[in-house]
Structure 1
Amino acid sequence: MVCALAILHLRAEDLVRYRTIAALIAATFLLILAHLLPLPPAVWQMLPHRDLIVEIDGATGLADVWRPLTIAPQRTWNALFSLFVPLSVFLLLARFDRGQLRALLLPVICIGLLSGFVGLLQITGGEGSPLYFYSIHNDRAAVGLFSNRNHQAMLLASLFPMLAVYASLQVRTTQRFRLRAMVCAAAGAVLVPLLLVTGSRAGLVLGLIGLASVPFLFRRPATDDPQRRKAAAFPIVPVVLGIAGVTLVALLALLFSRAEALTRITGSEQAEDLRFQAFMPMLDMAWRYFPFGSGLGSFVEAYQRDEPASLLKPEYFNHAHNDFMEIALTGGVLALLLLAVAIAAWLIAGLRVWRPFKTGSDDTRIARMGFVIIGQFLLASTVDYPVRTPSLACLLILAAVWLKSGIRQSEAEVSNRLEVPQAFR
């Protein structure tokens, strides 16, 4: 319904502004639909690694049945329908102007902090806490509004660049800037222990990347009044208080044995992690289905088909925990090409937004923030599947729109500044 409403109010120029994002989303839809297209038996039976299905059809008298490329059509249909959530968000965001996109920073930050505090209450309440909103979740972990500690950590880590940019946005008075900077510094201080208690090793790395981006994203707002500019110097006191708060709360978290991420790193769980043991078998599966793949969304069936006996466990292996591997296995070469195009578009956008002559405007900082968040998603996807979570998929779309919108506005600003005066034309 939201998607239909967004389409009714969509204008052609909105899609033109974000044509790269729109093209990537459209190509993803078309690829999934291609995997659902029924094929004659002579065609689908020749696809790689379909011998078991052919044998079963032959034994049951179904040899003449038309089948799609995917080995699990119901899963692929689910993958198709799940795309409508981020699509709806994109179509709505395409209508937003720069001010409205900028205004989304605060609610996203608040949602992230809320999820972090819910995680604290979860580990305080224990395994049976009613604040675990999903029946299947990481036990005794601070998963917040998610069911997976890595997804919670991804959201929290993305807040560091958001806070840096939000603290840098233009305000009318120096007092407002100081207040905003102090609040953002305090929120950043709280984020560190919230990230630690998730127990996500990947989250620690993502958090470090987010922290490392802060000096490149934060700039004090420019002012016209010299006195105001002098007063709006870098907020030393809030930063010092923030660092002190980080140290204190992190020490308390460690003292009460809540820093699960550090515990898991120093323990032996990493060596026993099923994800690392399954990497080579999954690589072999990807080659068996290459170049067409097993069908987008069909990982569970594809993995069960060739799961090594040595890795059989009572636990349910729902994803490859490496989205690049899963895309190769289920989507084949076309999905990999689409992924390569998306990464290339991100890198090209990065070159445009990080050029030395770029202005220090709010638009530039927002674009750079979007670039950093997308980079965090790419890194997180090497050990998990954050984009397959609807809420995080929407955050990725928002980051892409922030990046594209910020580039367009900042380049227009540079063009206006470099425009030759009318008298010299």
Structure 2
Amino acid sequence: MIRTSSSSSFVRLVIGLAVLACQIMGGGTERGLLMDHVLQVLMIATSTYVIVTLWDRSVSTAGLALFGAIALLGCIQIMPLPCEWLQSLRPQTYMPAIGSCSTTTISLSSYRTISGLISCLTMIVLFLALSKFDEPELGLLGRFVVAGVLVNLALSFVTFSQSDMSWLSDLLGYQAELGAFQNENHYSVYVAVGILAALTMRPQGYMRVWNLLLVTLVLLFLLAAGSRAGVLIGLFVSLLAFVMIARGSRSAAILAPGLGLVATAYLYGLWIKFTEVEGDQILDRRDYALTTWDAIRDQWPLGTGFSTFDLVYPRYEKLEQVYSAFVNHAHNDFLELILEGGLAGTLILAGCLAAIVMRFIRVRHRDSARTAFIAILIILVHSTVDYPLRTMGIASLFAFFAALLFARAPGSSAVAGRAIGVAPPRLIEAVQTATPTSEGDQIAR
């Protein structure tokens, strides 16, 4: 069977539109949103289509291992087990009353664990589908991420203009604060990291100018958004983008003074923002972390089950920490995962981080890998003070950059047809458009 370049382009279009849909409609943070369920169905369907259509290409082994490990842990968490097995591994508060039943589950809520498991596995399936593409093809898919950033910037511009955006909230099913995101911190990190996708398209000529304008626009919107974490991350990412876009360009000498002026103006705005008098904060991130750690010390062997954080957290809150606002997440995805996954979840998390670092060490000579690693690192760092990966928008962005980090080099796609003498699929359009280079070449020349 010979697959033409047009069919490959259609496959990219299908998965690209699905990723774009997540960027535009996946900014909610509440549990059980109808829009998130719709996006999950869409993502599973399109990812399965890509995996089946590109059956002759290899899939990420690391992704398959992660899928199997999380699926197995989730099944164990909802499996009925004899109460005596768990008696010494869990506080009595979370055990059934004596004589009421003979079995129980590790998860405090099987329904919630199943829902959280589906959300997590959906993003892993997306990663597996994206791992079917090589580096130049993922560079082309980066256009859909950039399109999502532009749409969110446009929506936030309407918000800043004091226009009525209630129609958007009604459509999404949650209150959209900035762009299509319910949380301004998540919005800021999304648009800041999203512009790195522009670097995967190997900008040349006029594309450099458009990308520089996009970076400048993102800086202004991040400053207006008001998220301290967002403006700091945005400054770092934007300076990186300016340097990588201008590098090797004949106009680099002209761009350098402009970059200095933009950075100076941005730093002044940043100083103004950080010296503003903040309103009373209910709790500091440190309070969330310490309270969550108290819960971990009691629950670490087994965990409490995926998506059960808010069922456990109130029991460990100190009286002076109880307010009318409801703490739905730990504001630290690592601590929350350790609490919910227990020892097994901790080992899986450690394995994922180790795989990312080891992969980066292997392919650090490729500019696309460095860009992807920086994007992943920024999201993970922000996850220590917030919960960005709980949104479909940022989770799909994370899957895209993870696939780019683990992507095959240009021309190394494994095609089953070669073993029987059938001509391999030609990706002329993708290769020529993306201007593929050998390992070690720069993204921008």
Normalised by the shorter chain, which TM-score bucket?
Answer: 0.7 to 0.9
Residue 80 of structure 1 deviates from its aligned partner by 1.2
Aligned partner of 1:24 in structure 2 is 66
Residue 178 of structure 1 deviates from its aligned partner by 2.8
Does the 8 A contact of 2:146 with 2:194 survive in 1?
A: yes
Matched, 1:401 2:403: yes
Matched, 1:52 2:93: yes
In structure 2, how many angstroms separate the alpha carbons of the residues matched to 1:309 and 1:409? 61
Once superposed, what is the RMSD of the aligned Cα atoms? 3.2
Percent of aligned pairs with the same residue?
24
Q: Which amino acid aligns with 1:199?
A: G
**Aligned with 1:405: secondary structure?**
coil
In structure 2, how many angstroms separate the alpha carbons of the residues matched to 1:247 and 1:207? 14
In structure 1, how many angstroms separate the alpha carbons of the residues matched to 2:321 and 2:355? 38
Name the stretch that deviates more: 315-324 or 268-277. 268-277
Residue 109 of structure 1 deviates from its aligned partner by 1.1
Question: Tell me, which stretches of 5 or more residues in structure 1 are unaligned?
Answer: 170-176, 222-231, 359-363, 416-425
- Relative distance call for 1:390 and 1:155 in structure 2 (3 A) is same
Residue 155 of structure 1 deviates from its aligned partner by 1.1
Residue 4 of structure 1 deviates from its aligned partner by 4.1
Aligned partner of 1:174 in structure 2 is none
Aligned partner of 1:172 in structure 2 is none
In structure 2, how many angstroms separate the alpha carbons of the residues matched to 1:81 and 1:13? 25
1:163 to 174, 178, 198: 198
Matched, 1:11 2:28: no
In structure 2, how many angstroms separate the alpha carbons of the residues matched to 1:62 and 1:196? 57
Residues 261-283 of structure 1 show CA distances to partners (whole Å, capped at 9, x for unaligned) of 96466434586534332321211
Aligned partner of 2:348 in structure 1 is 338
Name the stretch that deviates more: 67-76 or 116-125. 116-125
User: Which structure carries more relative contact order (alpha carbon 8 Å, separation 6+)?
Assistant: 2
**Aligned with 1:279: secondary structure?**
helix
In structure 2, how many angstroms separate the alpha carbons of the residues matched to 1:314 and 1:288? 26
Greater C-alpha Rg: 1
In structure 2, how many angstroms separate the alpha carbons of the residues matched to 1:295 and 1:211? 39
- Relative distance call for 1:343 and 1:304 in structure 2 (3 A) is same
**Aligned with 1:83: secondary structure?**
helix
Paired residues for 1:266-281 under 5 Å: 266-269=276-279, 272-281=282-291
Residue 404 of structure 1 deviates from its aligned partner by 1.4
Residues 136-168 of structure 1 show CA distances to partners (whole Å, capped at 9, x for unaligned) of 548xx5x211111121111111134333444x4
Residues 317-348 of structure 1 show CA distances to partners (whole Å, capped at 9, x for unaligned) of 11100011111211112211111111112222
Residue 83 of structure 1 deviates from its aligned partner by 2.4
Residues 303-327 of structure 1 show CA distances to partners (whole Å, capped at 9, x for unaligned) of 1233322221221211100011111
Matched, 1:233 2:275: no
2:360 to 350, 353, 366: 350
In structure 2, how many angstroms separate the alpha carbons of the residues matched to 1:159 and 1:392? 9
Q: How many residues align?
A: 371
Matched, 1:185 2:212: yes
In structure 2, how many angstroms separate the alpha carbons of the residues matched to 1:377 and 1:270? 27
- Relative distance call for 1:126 and 1:306 in structure 2 (3 A) is farther
Question: Tell me, which stretches of 5 or more residues in structure 2 are unaligned?
Answer: 1-44, 413-436, 441-445
In structure 1, how many angstroms separate the alpha carbons of the residues matched to 2:311 and 2:275? 31
Aligned partner of 2:181 in structure 1 is 146
Aligned partner of 1:418 in structure 2 is none
Does the 8 A contact of 1:192 with 1:250 survive in 2?
A: no
In structure 1, how many angstroms separate the alpha carbons of the residues matched to 2:306 and 2:410? 33
Normalised to the residue count of structure 1, the TM-score between the two structures is 0.77
Does the 8 A contact of 1:112 with 1:156 survive in 2?
A: yes
In structure 2, how many angstroms separate the alpha carbons of the residues matched to 1:339 and 1:273? 27
Normalised to the residue count of structure 2, the TM-score between the two structures is 0.74
Aligned partner of 2:126 in structure 1 is 89
**Aligned with 1:125: secondary structure?**
coil
Residue 7 of structure 1 deviates from its aligned partner by 4.6
Residue 398 of structure 1 deviates from its aligned partner by 0.9
Aligned partner of 1:72 in structure 2 is 109
Residue 9 of structure 1 deviates from its aligned partner by 3.2
2:147 to 110, 114, 119: 110
Residues 358-389 of structure 1 show CA distances to partners (whole Å, capped at 9, x for unaligned) of 3xxxxx22221111111111101101111121
Residues 100-129 of structure 1 show CA distances to partners (whole Å, capped at 9, x for unaligned) of 211012221121122123123223327874
Q: Which amino acid aligns with 2:205?
A: R
Does the 8 A contact of 1:154 with 1:377 survive in 2?
A: yes
In structure 2, how many angstroms separate the alpha carbons of the residues matched to 1:11 and 1:370? 25
Aligned partner of 1:328 in structure 2 is 338
- Relative distance call for 1:42 and 1:307 in structure 2 (3 A) is same
